Every structure is written in structure tokens, then in C-alpha cells.
Amino acid sequence: MPLLGTSGALPRSCRWGERRAICKELAWLRRVRNEWGSCGKLLFVGNEPVGYAQYAPAQFFPGALEYPTGPVSEDAVLLACLFITKPQWRGQGLGSLLLKAILDELSARGFRAVETFARRESAENPSGPLEFYLGHGFFVLRDDPEFPLLRRDLVNIPQV
């Protein structure tokens, strides 16, 4: 049975010799968690981490401005990555489980929508494949040959 966790307990500081990228990521997680709240999930099968996701308002992801289909809508949370790390765990519903947990959490927190830059080509990219998101109720908000911007509304908003 897969186990989901949030980015709750983080080390207070990096130890000497740890990779700079890890230290930078921990600092980012701490900052976003303190300013906004839960911003990530880890997925375990047994004791093995097999998947992860990061999400927050777009201002916490400055690189999102580089996508040709941006910017992310102001009322949306950006799902920056959702990735099952090992090919043998893909196609077994684990990504769906991870996505459902994120959508449920964000809906409970009162957010209106989630947007993500999907990938048309590679399943090896943490952005996630386009077909996965389309199969989970997302729609193409702005199209692009490589990274379309997808959206999923979390509440039914009447059309004006």
C-alpha cells in the first residue's frame, strides 16, 4: 500500500559536504512552507520513495515565467512537478494517487484552480505527460508544441 507524506519535517540546516542543490532546495521548501503552507508531497512504497510533487503559487517558481505559455493565472496554484521516479513504478496508478492527494488538499485549503506546464514528449520529465493530466480533468488553457499550460478548476464557477 503506497504511503503519502508532506514536506513536513525538514532538517534545520545542511551539513558540511552536502550538495549545494540539496541545501538550496531545503531552503526553498522551508521558505514556502513558512510563507504559504504545505508545498510538496512524497510517495513511498514500503520504505522506498517512488514519487514526489511540488506546488505553490507561481511567484515561488520564478522559472515559470520562462515558459512561452505562461504566466500562470493569478487564481491558480502551480503544480511545478509530479514525477514517479522509477519506470517500474509508472503506469500503476501511483501518479494518480499523488495527484488526487494534491487536488484534495488544495481544494480543502480553498484554492480555485491548479495549473501545470505539461510535457508532450518525455515521460522522463518531472513536468509530467500531457495525456496524464488530460485524463484527470485538466484542459489546455494555452497550447504549445512542447509545454502547453493546463488547468483544472477545483470548484464549479458559474459562467458569467
CATH code at position 98: 3.40.630.30
Bridge partners of residue 144, in order along the sequence: none
Q: Is residue 57 part of a domain?
A: yes
Query: Which burial class, exposed, middle or buried, applies to 97 when counting CB atoms under 10 A from its CB (0-12, 13-18, 19+)?
Result: middle
pLDDT in tens, the chain (160 residues): 355 555 444 444 445 455 677 788 888 888 999 999 999 999 998 888 899 999 999 999 999 999 999 999 999 999 999 999 888 999 899 999 999 999 999 999 999 999 999 988 766 778 788 999 999 999 999 999 999 999 999 985 444 4
Q: Is residue 159 part of a domain?
A: no
- Answer yes or no: are the C-beta atoms of 59 and 65 closer than 8 Å: no
Q: Is residue 68 part of a domain?
A: yes
Q: Is residue 141 part of a domain?
A: yes
**For residue 108, what pLDDT is reported?**
94
- Domains of the chain: total: 1
Max CA pair span of the chain: 57
Query: Which burial class, exposed, middle or buried, applies to 106 when counting CB atoms under 10 A from its CB (0-12, 13-18, 19+)?
Result: buried
- Rg over alpha carbons for the chain, rounded to the nearest Å, is 16
Per the listing, cell 513558512 goes with 34
Q: Is residue 160 part of a domain?
A: no
Q: What's the grid cell of residue 50?
A: 517512488
**For residue 13, what pLDDT is reported?**
47
3-class secondary-structure state, position 48? strand
Domain that holds residue 81: 2-153
Q: Is residue 120 part of a domain?
A: yes
Q: Measure Cα distances from 10 to 34, 40, 92, 127 in Å.
A: 12, 12, 29, 24
Q: Is residue 149 part of a domain?
A: yes
Q: Is residue 116 part of a domain?
A: yes
